[in-house]
Amino acid sequence: MPYRHAVNRLSRSRYILGGALLLLACVAPMRDLQAKTTTSSHKSTSSEPSSSLAIQVNNDRLTLTVAKAPQVYLTGVIDANAPQRFATMVQTGKIAPGSDIYLNATGDDIHAGIALGRLFRQGSMVTHLGTPRLPRHTGMVGKPATCTGACAYAFLGGLYRWAPTGADRIGFPSASANDPKPASADQAPQTPDEFTAYLKDMDIDASALMPLLAAGHGEMVWLTADQMIASRLANNGRLPLVATYQLQEGAPYLVLDEVKRGGEHRMTLQCKKEGVTLTAYNTIGADHARQIVARSARSFFEINRVESQPQQQDNATVDDQSVVVTRTYPASQLGSLISAHTIGAWVRDRSSSLRYGFEFELDGLDRIMNTYYQSCWQYAPWQAPSQKS
């Protein structure tokens, strides 16, 4: 009996050992497969260029708290299928409208770059140059971003477009604007008319871009941040200032409006019997507006960066989502207002040297300003001026 018990225990041990070896044989290939899958996934979101465009989406809680929007990194080569892959991610909700798009890519397929740009604009997305941030514990510094060819044209699709900073670079192929060629034999060429139409749809002035590209003489044209901003290829978060003239209850009424990411700035200039009323609206949200007004020492306008009407000490007020500053000017100062290069509206903090507000650059609005000026003098019973001051 004891011997039989010993035999059974030995048989059971052999059985367990054999089962363990069999389980190990099955687990090992699964571990190898998992390792390969993890590596492949890491490569698809790597910042290193690859044979196709890699798309990495950062929409974790920390990113949304700090950046206020998801961050999408496009890295590698903009291939012919890149727009479709990007569109699918938008349709499935993986890429949200209003996302920040960071570009570090190349590519000769201008058609694909333009298609990506149109997708950016449809989603009111924001374009930057940039590479994914690296974890702090690595001790490594991220590499500068380079955006060339198809990437440069995709960049123009951003509703808001930030000019390159630091060592980041953006380059436009000068030849593609005049004689764009398809990336492959089975792809239709991008004609100059289609290219110009894209620029128009993206609110890009072709007459500002073309001279820059022509200067390249067939080589890559690397544009500086100053060139990007001066030509409005980049707007650094601000849409162009829009001036609108209308009659309000028979009185000439001028509206200057600038939409920026996260807010809106507006000034109105209204002709009245007693003079001209200038009002500024800094739309920044109800809570923030109340905080600024509660802490304000005084409000004021600056004309050509010089304080105007300092004798008027009216403080700012809150109107819904906006901080509001208002001043009344005599008719004799209308000419100075509408011919100014800059007009700023500010609120000074009572406990610091900080001031809050905005400034408009009025250059380029001469025609509508002059029309408004003439309408005011026709409307109001002022003494007609001998000439515009």
Q: pLDDT at position 65, please? A: 87
Bridge partners, 179 (sequence order): none
Q: Which of 28-32, 50-54, 282-286 has the highest mean pLDDT?
A: 282-286
Residue ranges of domains in the chain:
54-230, 242-379
Q: pLDDT at position 236, please? A: 94
Q: pLDDT at position 33, please? A: 37
Q: pLDDT at position 188, please? A: 45
Q: pLDDT at position 274, please? A: 84
Confidence band for 183, pLDDT divided at 50, 70 and 90: very low
What does the alpha-carbon distance between residue 280 and residue 216 come to, in Å, rounded to a whole number?
A: 43
Backbone angles phi, psi at 194, to 5 degrees: -65, -40
Sheet of 342-349, strands arranged across: 306-308, 296-303, 342-349, 355-361
| % of residues, the chain, pLDDT over 90 | 59
- Predicted confidence (pLDDT) at residue 338 exceeds the cutoff of 80: yes
Beta carbons within 8 Å of 85's beta carbon, 6+ residues apart: 53, 55
Q: What is the pLDDT of residues 125-181, one digit of tens each?
A: 999 999 987 666 555 567 899 999 999 999 999 999 999 999 999 999 875 444 544
Q: Which of 11-15, 173-177, 234-238 has the highest mean pLDDT?
A: 234-238
Using an 8 Å Cβ cutoff, are 130 and 145 in contact? yes
Mean pLDDT of 219-227: 92
Query: Six-digit token pair at 245?
Result: 């003239």
Q: pLDDT at position 116, please? A: 97
Using an 8 Å Cβ cutoff, are 167 and 219 in contact? no
The whole-angstrom distance between residue 72's C-alpha and the CA centroid of its chain comes to: 13
Using an 8 Å Cβ cutoff, are 335 and 367 in contact? no
Sheet of 126-129, strands arranged across: 54-58, 71-77, 100-106, 126-129, 160-161
Using an 8 Å Cβ cutoff, are 128 and 102 in contact? yes
Mean pLDDT of 104-123: 95
CATH 3.40.50.300 fits 242-379, yes or no: no
Confidence band for 5, pLDDT divided at 50, 70 and 90: very low
Q: pLDDT at position 122, please? A: 97
- Predicted confidence (pLDDT) at residue 215 exceeds the cutoff of 60: yes
What does the alpha-carbon distance between residue 196 and residue 167 come to, in Å, rounded to a whole number?
A: 29
The whole-angstrom distance between residue 273's C-alpha and the CA centroid of its chain comes to: 42
Q: pLDDT at position 137, please? A: 58
Q: What is the pLDDT of residues 310-325, one digit of tens each?
A: 766 678 999 999 999 9
CATH 2.60.120.560 fits 54-230, yes or no: no
- Predicted confidence (pLDDT) at residue 184 exceeds the cutoff of 90: no
Q: Report the DSSP pairing between strands 317-319 and 322-329.
A: antiparallel
Cα-based distances in Å from 261 to 60, 63, 377: 21, 17, 37
Q: What is the pLDDT of residues 364-381, one digit of tens each?
A: 899 999 999 999 988 877
Q: Whole-prediction pTM value?
A: 0.72
Task: Name the DSSP letter for residue 217.
Answer: T
Q: pLDDT at position 174, please? A: 79
Mean pLDDT of 257-270: 93
What does the alpha-carbon distance between residue 340 and residue 349 come to, in Å, rounded to a whole number?
A: 26
- Predicted confidence (pLDDT) at residue 301 exceeds the cutoff of 90: yes
If you average pLDDT over every residue of the chain, what do you get? 82
The set of long-range contacts for 368-371, using a CB threshold of 8 Å and a minimum separation of 24, is: 368/243, 368/245, 368/254, 369/243, 369/254, 369/338, 369/339, 370/338, 371/245
At 241, the amino acid letter reads L
Q: pLDDT at position 134, please? A: 67
